[in-house]
Amino acid sequence: MIFDLIEKRRSIFPAQYIDRPIAKDVLEKILEAANWAPTHKKTEPWRFKVLTGDKKQELGIFLANKYEETDPNPKQIKIKKLQFNPSNSGAVIAICMQRDPKESLPEWEEIAAVSMAVQNMWLCCTELGIGSYWSSPGLIKYMDEFFDLAPGEKCLGFFYMGYYEGAVEPSSRTPISEKVEWMD
Annotated binding site for FMN: 9-11, 40, 134-136
Residue 81's closest CA among 100, 56, 63?
Answer: 63
Q: What is the CA radius of gyration of the chain?
A: 18
Residue 35's closest CA among 26, 45, 25?
Answer: 45
Dihedral (Cα; 3, 93, 162, 37), 10-degree rounding: 10
Backbone angles phi, psi at 128, to 5 degrees: -90, 0
CA pair distance 45, 61, nearest whole angstrom:
28
Residue 164's closest CA among 13, 18, 11, 15?
Answer: 18
CA pair distance 132, 110, nearest whole angstrom:
22
CA pair distance 170, 104, nearest whole angstrom:
41
